[in-house]
């Protein structure tokens, strides 16, 4: 055999050995956990191997490199595929201070602890647990939505920061997806938006294995995916055998040479590929193989049948010489360019530093509006628009948009140079998401993990369309911004289909989600100050369509109390007889009722509670100062489901809220019909006093 033939043969052997290492690590981890999905990692191992080893621009020694390619495993049930890759590529763990450590993000011990309590290897990948996991996936379609946000982020970063001779950003985004990802509605939303924006840096790899958890995909899925994606204006190519590394490489080259649209690579694979016994069966997809099947499968691979978690000599070294060396070299060249760039464009380099560490620039809160007292007032969506525009001018990486409702949500950035992000201008800071709430939220998460501060906006009732992405933002501990307007029955004629009732209670039930419902224009200012400083927590900002009075802060307490979640807005001298509590537009009702009670000689206190979550973080002494235990007469006022207010009003308190869906009628009629009047609040206060 000639030398060149020997080299080729050796390389092919290493390829096969590496692929089978990925497969057997997945098999052994799932078998040991007695839980999980071995089939997808087995079938996809050659695909992921080819991508990582030959194409992915990624430095395992620094998983925070700004210009790294992003890899998203949208079919998160195949998590062992990603864990095996992170281990074999020797990706380093980054600590909570952003420092790269010598520790592996995923060690072999962590793989052995797959799906166990406290491990970095849960059933579906979680980005806050281990470096190298770009985003948390599992609910199908979410990773695809995130990948669109990441691709938007790459285009925006390139258009914003690149300069002639200095191509600082040009990274690609790769996402592996399944039949299920493409069945989910968010998959269609994401593909539609990406095609419209001509995101040529986005590559989806569709694992076409024709199997779902229920059984054959043909039971529920028969569309022509290729034709569908061509309709979305994607480039579509196909690899008919997932084991064909040469054809896979050709497909990735096609993607890299396509500059006017995103690319879908359809890869035909088999669940549990390689095992002649369990191909195309549900068991290989959603269950451990079983000891006997494990031995047979390993025998088929030419693997020691009784070996567990075997990583043969040469495999990690092979990854080191592949993705490791290529990533190190590319990163090194980039670092030299960036060092020169930093000298020529120090302000831009400093901006990038702030973004990477989620720090705010100097003067981020300058020129924020101050709203004078005004009985007629202004809608909090209107005051929010003024604050948002001021903040966005101070924070150049604050970008976002709405689901076709920017004019209603007042979220358009209107200052000079803000521009609109589209296929002709990727530097614009206003995003048109179209009527695609679900992928808007997922894209915002993708932008946030790309270290761009992003917001998405729609009517509060349509937060229901966004909930899976909002929940994942909370789980990932990222500061996504969700702006909601038309926050109650106060929007009147649109009626119960558009009037939120249960949304406040449900979002308050979500761990690590801050809900902010400011009561007037100056509370809006303080709310946005809180939002700007968040680093690990998403926020839902809930705003009115209708005008609300701007309180006279020389008469009532300053709005800075918002920083503590709840504060005493108006008080009596001495111990109050009754406490009136409210959020949003209902705070003004409490104030008017307070003044009426005061005129009758009843000592009342008004507590504005824009954020329960922040209030609960305060110490016991502060909470007692706002809501003293010995004042039992309490009334909550909120145009929403009353669920949760029990903790604040107590067993003898009163809760004025909604106990049914709303109604379509003019605002005044709706408010009167449901009892949101000053007289009714006063009556509830008297009722609370009479029972205490």
Strands (E), 221-268: 235-239, 263-268
Q: Which two tokens stand for residue 58?
A: 């990624």
Answer yes or no: are the C-beta atoms of 589 and 637 closer than 8 Å.
Answer: yes
Structure tokens at 682: 């006063």
Give the number of other CB atoms < 10 A from CB of residue 425.
11
All residues at 6 or more sequence positions from 481 whose CB lies less than 8 Å from its CB, including other chains: 400, 444, 453, 454, 455, 456, 531, 538, 539, 541
Mapping DSSP to helix (H, G, I), strand (E, B) and coil, where does residue 675 land?
coil
Task: Give yes or no for a contact between 213 and 281, defined as CB atoms under 8 angstroms apart.
Answer: no
Q: Are residues 379 and 286 in the same domain?
A: no
Phi, psi of 668 (to 5 degrees): -60, -40
Look up the CATH number of the domain holding residue 577: 3.40.50.920
368 CB neighbour count, 10 Å cutoff: 16
Positions marked active-site: 437
Split into its structural domains, the chain has a count of 3
Are 509 and 599 members of one domain?
no
Final residue before a domain boundary, out of 276, 303, 332: 332
Pick from 542, 545, 411, 548: which is nearest to 491 by CA? Answer: 545
Q: By the 8 A CB rule, do 101 and 95 touch?
A: yes
- Paired tokens of 211: 């199997």
Question: Which tokens is 625 given?
Answer: 């100062």
pLDDT tens column, 85-125: 999 999 999 998 899 999 999 999 999 999 999 999 999 99
Q: Examine residue 558 and state whether it is found in any structural domain, yes or no.
A: no
Q: How many CB atoms lie within 10 A of CB 652?
A: 11
Judge if 310 and 451 occupy the same domain.
no
143 Cβ neighbours under 8 A, 6+ residues apart: 72, 73, 74, 75, 76, 135, 137, 175, 177, 181
Distance CA(608)–CA(570), nearest Å, equals: 9
Q: Are residues 268 and 406 in the same domain?
A: no
Q: Do 273 and 412 fall into the same domain?
A: no
Asked if residue 289 lies in contact with residue 279, where contact means CB atoms within 8 angstroms, the answer is no
Residues of the chain where predicted confidence (pLDDT) is lower than 70? 1-11, 271-286
Task: Say if 75 falls within a structural domain.
Answer: yes
512 and 635 in a common domain: no
Report if pTM > 0.85: yes
Q: Please report whether residue 361 resides in a domain.
A: no
57 in a structural domain = yes
Strands 567-570 and 539-542: unpaired
pLDDT confidence of residue 277: 47
Helical (H) or strand (E) element with 478: none
> Does residue 569 share a domain with residue 535?
no
Question: Do residue 124 and residue 235 come from a single domain?
Answer: yes
Which of 273, 302, 332 is the endpoint of a domain?
332
Query: Both tokens of residue 307?
Result: 């070996």
Is residue 345 situated within a structural domain?
Answer: no
Report yes or no on 351 lying in a domain: no
How many CB atoms are located within 10 Å of the residue 661 CB?
13
Distance between CA atoms of residues 645 and 66, nearest Å: 45
* Rounded Cα gap, residues 56 and 13, in angstroms: 21
Structural tokens at position 275: 């095992």
- List CB contacts of 490: < 8 A, sequence separation 6 or more: 544, 545, 546, 585, 639, 667, 670, 671
Q: Decide: 579 and 597 in contact? Cβ < 8 Å.
A: no
pLDDT of 270 reads 74
Structural domain includes residue 353: no
Backbone angles phi, psi at 563, to 5 degrees: -60, -20
503 with 652, same domain: the answer is: no
Instruction: State the pLDDT at residue 11.
Output: 67
Q: Are residues 598 and 472 in the same domain?
A: no
Look at the chain and count its residues: 692
Domain ends where: 514, 549, 584? 549
**Separation of CA 3 from chain center:** 52
* Dihedral angle over CA of 157, 160, 166, 167, nearest 10: 30
One domain, residues 421 and 528: yes
Q: HSE (CB half, 13 Å, CA atoms) of 591?
A: 22
Question: Does any domain span residue 559?
Answer: no
Residues 531 and 585 in one domain: no
pLDDT of residue 282: 39
Question: 3-class secondary structure for 355-378?
Answer: HHCCCCCCCCCCCCCCCCCEEEEE
Half-sphere exposure in the Cβ direction for 673 (13 Å, CA): 15
Judge residue 140's burial from the number of C-beta atoms within 10 Å of its C-beta, 0-12 exposed, 13-18 middle, 19 or more buried: buried
- Look up the domain containing 391 and give its range: 374-549
CATH of the domain at 93: 3.40.50.970
């Amino acid at each position: 055999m000639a030398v060149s033939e020997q080299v080729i043969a050796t390389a092919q052997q290493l390829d096969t050995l590496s692929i089978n290492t990925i497969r057997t690590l997945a098999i052994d981890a799932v078998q040991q956990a007695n839980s999980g999905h071995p089939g997808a990692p087995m079938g996809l191992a050659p695909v992921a191997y080819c991508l990582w080893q030959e194409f992915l621009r990624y430095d395992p020694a620094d998983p925070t490199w700004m210009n790294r390619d992003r890899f998203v495993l949208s079919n998160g049930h195949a998590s062992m595929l990603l864990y095996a890759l992170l281990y074999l590529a020797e990706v380093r763990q980054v600590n909570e201070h952003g420092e790269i450590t010598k520790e592996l993000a995923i060690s072999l011990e962590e793989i052995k602890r797959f799906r166990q309590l406290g491990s970095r290897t849960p059933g579906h990948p979680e980005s806050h647990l281990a470096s190298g996991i770009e985003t948390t996936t599992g609910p199908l379609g979410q990773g695809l939505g995130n990948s669109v946000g990441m691709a938007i982020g790459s285009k925006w970063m390139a258009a914003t920061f690149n300069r002639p001779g200095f191509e600082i950003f040009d990274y690609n985004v790769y996402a592996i997806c399944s039949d299920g990802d493409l069945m989910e509605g968010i998959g269609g939303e994401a593909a539609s938006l990406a095609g419209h924006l001509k995101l040529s840096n986005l590559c989806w790899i569709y694992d076409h294995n024709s199997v779902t958890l229920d059984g054959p995909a043909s039971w529920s899925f028969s569309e022509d995916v290729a034709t569908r994606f061509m309709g979305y204006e994607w480039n579509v190519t196909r690899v008919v055998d997932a084991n064909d590394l040469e054809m896979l490489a050709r497909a990735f080259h096609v993607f890299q040479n396509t500059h006017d649209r995103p690319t879908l690579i359809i890869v035909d694979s088999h669940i549990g590929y390689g095992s002649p016994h369990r191909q195309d069966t549900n068991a290989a997809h959603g269950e451990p193989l079983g000891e006997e099947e494990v031995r047979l499968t390993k025998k088929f691979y030419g693997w020691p049948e009784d070996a567990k978690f075997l990583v043969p000599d040469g495999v990690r070294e092979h990854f080191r010489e592949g993705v490791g060396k290529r990533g190190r070299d590319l990163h090194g060249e980039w670092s030299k360019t960036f060092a020169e760039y930093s000298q020529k464009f120090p302000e831009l380099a400093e901006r990038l530093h702030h973004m990477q560490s989620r720090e705010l620039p100097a003067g981020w809160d300058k020129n924020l509006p101050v709203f004078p007292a005004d009985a007629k007032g202004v809608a909090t969506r209107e005051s929010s628009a003024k604050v948002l525009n001021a903040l966005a001018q101070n924070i150049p990486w604050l970008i976002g948009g709405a689901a076709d409702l920017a004019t209603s949500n007042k979220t358009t950035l209107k200052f000079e140079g803000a521009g609109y992000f589209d296929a002709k201008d990727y530097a614009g800071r206003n995003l048109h998401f179209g009527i695609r709430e679900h992928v808007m939220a997922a894209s915002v998460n993708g932008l946030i993990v790309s270290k761009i501060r992003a917001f998405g906006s729609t009517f509060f009732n349509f937060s229901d369309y966004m909930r899976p992405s909002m929940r994942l933002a909370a789980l990932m501990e990222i500061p996504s911004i969700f702006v909601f307007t038309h926050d109650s029955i106060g929007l009147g004629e649109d009626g119960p289909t558009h009037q939120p009732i249960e949304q406040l209670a449900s979002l308050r039930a979500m761990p690590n989600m801050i809900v902010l419902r400011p009561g007037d224009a100056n509370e809006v200012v303080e709310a946005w100050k809180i939002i700007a400083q968040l680093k690990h927590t998403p926020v839902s900002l809930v705003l009115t369509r209708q005008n609300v009075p701007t309180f006279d802060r020389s008469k009532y307490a300053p709005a800075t109390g918002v920083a503590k979640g709840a504060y005493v807005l108006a008080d009596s001298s001495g111990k109050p007889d009754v406490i009136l509590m409210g959020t949003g537009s209902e705070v003004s009702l409490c104030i008017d009722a307070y003044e009426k009670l005061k005129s009758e000689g009843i000592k009342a206190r008004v507590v504005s509670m824009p954020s329960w979550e922040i209030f609960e973080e305060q110490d016991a002494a502060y909470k007692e100062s706002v809501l003293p235990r010995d004042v039992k007469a309490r009334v909550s006022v909120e145009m929403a489901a009353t669920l949760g207010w029990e903790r604040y009003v107590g067993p003898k308190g009163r809760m004025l809220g909604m106990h049914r869906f709303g109604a379509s009628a003019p605002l005044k009629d709706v408010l009167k019909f449901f009892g949101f009047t000053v007289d009714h609040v006063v009556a509830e206060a008297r009722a609370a006093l009479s029972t205490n």
